[in-house]
Amino acid sequence: MSHSWTTPQANRGYSAPGREKTTSLLDAEDVKKLRDAVPDLKESLEIGREGEPDHPNHWPAEEGELVGFKQIMMDFHEKCKSLHMEVMRAIAVGLGIDEHWFDGFTDVGDNTLRLLHYPEVKKDVFTINPGQVRAGAHSDYGSITLLFQDSRGGLQVQSPNGTFVDATPIEDTCVVNAGDLLARWSNDNIKSTIHRVVEPPSGDGDVYPARYSIAYFCNPNFKSLIEAIPGTYEAEKDRKYPGINSGEYLVQRLAATY
């Protein structure tokens, strides 16, 4: 299908249920085994930065309810790009570095907007198959993620003691998760947030209704080298990770989960 997600390099387009398995596993074979046993119960559409000649977005035809879709998504992409830059300024202040330290790393907007749909599902799917989730436990890969969820519930984040706690939806707010590149950048002063989507709090009937969410994955500009920020380590030996190119790191992580 012409709208389908194609490659980690492009990271754009539609992923049908069962295509991507979010997990903390890094090995593609291990992920495949897990995906075959308990596929994530979701479908998604990824929208990247518009205007990349090698990686066009897969826009649906502008007809019916979708008239104006492209413009709305592009505007939202821009708004979230600015919000990313603002949140990174706050993080810079928190780290004790110049407020605008991250600006030159975040101004391109190499970010991905993901529209997610978790279809209605029978409740017994979760009892028949223990370990079944809507989205498996994982951390996101970039700097931060802005996560907008509807009122259904089911999103959980892992607390430092290892237990998962509900990120109960609060109207007109978004959840901000730290990603793995931010952890590397900050030499683990900021840890990436492990999160997952499980069955929502139980309601009436024998099905859980559909859930919708939007994840805006923010990334350092794909051309940047991500290495421990000055001040986040004392001696050279305290650096926990080698420097890595942002774009290459993301491709590597995406390649394991699809």
Ligand X SMILES: O=C(O)CCC(=O)C(=O)O
- Considering only residues 23, 57, 111, 149, which one is a binding residue for ligand X as defined by CB under 6 A? 149
Instruction: Choose the binding region for Fe ion from 23-31, 34-42, 64-72, 139-147 (rule: CB under 5 A).
Output: 139-147
140 in contact with Fe ion (CB under 5 A): yes
**Rounded CA gap, 222 and 249, in Å?**
9
Residue 11 interacts with, from ligand X, Fe ion, none (CB under 5-8 Å by kind): none
- Considering only residues 140, 183, 185, 190, which one is a binding residue for ligand X as defined by CB under 6 A? 140
For the purposes of burial, counting CB atoms within 10 Å of the CB of 97, is it exposed (0-12), middle (13-18) or buried (19 or more)? middle
* Contact between residue 177 and residue 189 where contact means Cβ atoms under 8 Å apart: no
Determine the residue with CB nearest ligand X. Answer: 213
Instruction: Choose the binding region for ligand X from 5-13, 51-59, 147-155, 223-231 (rule: CB under 6 A).
Output: 147-155
Nearer to ligand X, 42 or 187 (CB): 42
254 in contact with ligand X (CB under 6 A): no
* Contact between residue 123 and residue 102 where contact means Cβ atoms under 8 Å apart: no
Q: Is 178 helix (H, G, I), strand (E, B) or coil?
A: strand
**Rounded CA gap, 88 and 90, in Å?**
5
Tell me which amino acid residue 167 is: A
Task: Give min distance, CB of 27 to Fe ion, in A.
Answer: 19
Provide the binding-site residues for Fe ion, judged by CB under 5 A: 140
